[in-house]
Chains A and B, each alone.
Chain A
Amino acid sequence: MSVSEAAIELRDVTVRLGGRTILENLDLSIPAGKVTAVMGPSGAGKTTVLRLVTGQIRPDSGEVRVGDTRVDKLDGKALNRFRREIGVLLQNGALFTDLTCFDNVALPLREHTGLPETLIRRLVLLKLQMVGLRGAAELYPSELSGGMNRRVATARAMALDPSIMLFDEPFAGLDPISLGVSLRLIRDINHALGITSIVITHDVDEVSDLADQCAIIAERRVMASGTPSQLADSDNPLVRQFMQGLPDGPVPFHYPAADLADDLLATEKHR
């Protein structure tokens, strides 16, 4: 894929946090107007990719580009201006529990637009209608289920009509109905508005229904990328282990430890 086709581009990115290398010389291109799933085992650095794209962390080396913007060079007001162009759905929705659903969605509009309250009301109701929760506008997040909370949070993330949406683990812990609703919502938003979506997830089954493109992150880099069917047919042992959900393989079942026999004999000696 050429750079011009890519909405988001991570080039030769290395991130070290707390003395640990999370990503090393990672290259990743996210095509414009498509749904791209960033997958990988837990702790592989998927959320770090999201935090790089939103400018929450900076790489130790490499470039993070969103369109023509070098996100890793932004700070202060420029970073805030950039963040108004993107919408982020965090893992548990992160709604403000002291505000109603209506006020949660209205918050970015009130902070950034200066629109009159009557217009804000219309926009908020339309956003809530989009996620099917207009009727819950006056409820507090604590009165809604986890899935509904995430839908309200999606409406809030969409409030300023972003051109890029990032979803961090949008399916984690959802019941089958909520999961189906979330899948349809992400797909519909993407197709209706033509925005670029990144879905950080490890739900392989859902990804095959949803994503146009996938990238698997493991061992601090992009291990494989392609369409969901290409990845499903991959010969790479790690990709196969991940896509088929095998308990053992390149990602070991056991946490690194001394030999079992040595440990057991040591226990005998302690007696």
Chain B
Amino acid sequence: MTPDTPGNRLFDRPLRELGRALLFLFTAISRMRFSRLQLTETLRQIYFAGVRSLVIIVTCGFFVGLVLTLQTYDTLTRFGAGDAVSTVLALSLFRELGPVLTALLFAGRAGTSITAEIGLMRATEQLDALDLMAIDPMERIVQPRLIAGLIALPALVLIFNVTAIVGGVFFAVFLMGNDPVTFWSNMQASVELGRDFFGGMIKAVAFGFVAAWLAVWFGWSARPTSEGVALATTQTVIATAITVLILDFILSAFML
């Protein structure tokens, strides 16, 4: 039997929670079924998680590109390397900032909305109603949202990267008057399709899956009260942010 020490107590609850969340994920995947209704619901969830996140992704992407170019251009010109700004911009976006920032924004916009929706479905007995109609809530509620996260986040990362580069071009070329040909050719020469672009997309798929899983799990396990749902949405943001950053480090270490 494990001794009841403060250290054990500290890790006991999070580990139990992780175990339950993993079991939940395993159940959801093992009951995966593909039907026309499932496809319709998945498309609807892609719309809610993806299309409805476009405004925040495009706005943040543009300003991240703008400020990243501003900061790096200022530093690089001190060393006479102002032309390298597009290289720094592209590599930092494709490898790190694109997937990580998009995942964090996704957790704040779509993740919290998924958690609140499922939590309220629990509180208003909608999940019980599905069960009683012999409709598997895993199939109807959980799986479409998991698949939607898996598809929507990589698409949002692509859009984030493109708008961030547009922001970079706006600052470096239009405001600072850099040569556009040099800007684009440096970027093209420095970015490797496999390691940089696809490496980032692998991260995007992993983050999308984790963000959707945590959002669905915290909604599913929320206490059926207004306080419980509020707590669950907060947990979604915190847990996704921490998990994405840890996962980012692990994936980066393997990819380098």
- Whether the Cβ atoms of A80 and B134 lie closer than 8 Å is yes
Q: Complex formed: what's the CA distance from A79 to B132 in Å?
A: 10
Contact of B125 among A86, A91, A110, A112 (CB under 8 A): A91
Contact of B126 among A83, A86, A94 (CB under 8 A): A94
Which residues from B are CB-within-8-Å of A79?
134
Q: Tell me how many residues of B have a C-beta within 8 Å of chain A.
A: 12
Q: Is A227 at the interface (CB under 8 A from chain B)?
A: no
Minimum CB–CB distance from A83 to chain B (whole Å) comes to: 4
Q: Is A25 at the interface (CB under 8 A from chain B)?
A: no
Q: Complex formed: what's the CA distance from A56 to B128 in Å?
A: 9
Best-surrounded residue of B124, B125, B126, B134 (most CB of chain A within 10 A): B134
Contact of B128 among A84, A94, A95, A107 (CB under 8 A): A94
- Whether the Cβ atoms of B128 and A83 lie closer than 8 Å is no
Which residues from A are CB-within-8-Å of B131?
56, 83
Which residues from A are CB-within-8-Å of B128?
56, 90, 94
Q: Is A146 at the interface (CB under 8 A from chain B)?
A: no
Minimum CB–CB distance from A111 to chain B (whole Å) comes to: 5
Q: Complex formed: what's the CA distance from A108 to B37 in Å?
A: 12
Which residues from B are CB-within-8-Å of A110?
37
Contact of A111 among B126, B129, B133 (CB under 8 A): B133
Contact of B37 among A90, A96, A111 (CB under 8 A): A111
Encode B132-165 as 1/0 by CB contact (under 8 A) with A: 1111100000000000000000000000000000
- Whether the Cβ atoms of B126 and A96 lie closer than 8 Å is yes
> Nearest chain-A residue to B136 (Cβ)?
A80
- Whether the Cβ atoms of A111 and B125 lie closer than 8 Å is no
Contact of A84 among B37, B124, B126, B134 (CB under 8 A): B134
- Whether the Cβ atoms of B125 and A107 lie closer than 8 Å is no
Which residues from A are CB-within-8-Å of B37?
110-111
Encode A43-60 as 1/0 by CB contact (under 8 A) with B: 000000000001010000
Q: Complex formed: what's the CA distance from A94 to B121 in Å?
A: 8
- Whether the Cβ atoms of B125 and A83 lie closer than 8 Å is no
Which residues from A are CB-within-8-Å of B129?
88, 90, 94-96, 153
Q: Complex formed: what's the CA distance from A220 to B172 in Å?
A: 76
- Whether the Cβ atoms of B134 and A54 lie closer than 8 Å is no
Encode A92-107 as 1/0 by CB contact (under 8 A) with B: 1011110000000001
Contact of B133 among A56, A83, A92, A97 (CB under 8 A): A83
Which residues from B are CB-within-8-Å of A111?
37, 133-135
Kindly count the residue-residue contacts between A and B in the assembled complex, taking CB atoms under 8 Å apart.
Answer: 47
Q: Is A81 at the interface (CB under 8 A from chain B)?
A: yes
Minimum CB–CB distance from B145 to chain A (whole Å) comes to: 13
Which residues from B are CB-within-8-Å of A92?
124-125
Which residues from B are CB-within-8-Å of A81?
134
Which residues from B are CB-within-8-Å of A90?
125, 128-129, 132
> Nearest chain-A residue to B37 (Cβ)?
A110
Given A94-B126, A96-B126; A88-B132 close (CB under 8 Å): yes
Minimum CB–CB distance from A118 to chain B (whole Å) comes to: 16
Which residues from A are CB-within-8-Å of B132?
54, 56, 83, 86, 88, 90
Encode B204-225 as 1/0 by CB contact (under 8 A) with A: 0000000000000000000000
- Whether the Cβ atoms of B124 and A83 lie closer than 8 Å is no
Minimum CB–CB distance from A164 to chain B (whole Å) comes to: 12
Encode A146-165 as 1/0 by CB contact (under 8 A) with B: 00000001001000000000
Minimum CB–CB distance from B99 to chain A (whole Å) comes to: 30
- Whether the Cβ atoms of A107 and B135 lie closer than 8 Å is yes
Encode B154-188 as 1/0 by CB contact (under 8 A) with A: 00000000000000000000000000000000000
Contact of B135 among A91, A94, A95, A108 (CB under 8 A): A108
- Whether the Cβ atoms of B124 and A112 lie closer than 8 Å is no
Minimum CB–CB distance from A8 to chain B (whole Å) comes to: 16
Minimum CB–CB distance from B226 to chain A (whole Å) comes to: 15
Which residues from A are CB-within-8-Å of B135?
107-108, 111
Q: Complex formed: what's the CA distance from A131 to B125 in Å?
A: 21
Which residues from B are CB-within-8-Å of A91?
125
Interface residues of A in 126-185 (CB under 8 A from B): 153, 156
24 example contacts (A-B, Cβ-Cβ < 8 A) are as follows: A56-B128, A56-B132, A79-B134, A80-B134, A81-B134, A83-B131, A83-B132, A84-B134, A86-B132, A88-B132, A90-B129, A91-B125, A92-B124, A92-B125, A94-B124, A94-B126, A95-B129, A97-B124, A107-B135, A108-B133, A111-B37, A111-B133, A112-B134, A156-B133
Known pairs A96-B129, A111-B37 / 6 extra A-B pairs, C-beta < 8 Å? A56-B128, A80-B134, A92-B125, A94-B124, A94-B129, A97-B124
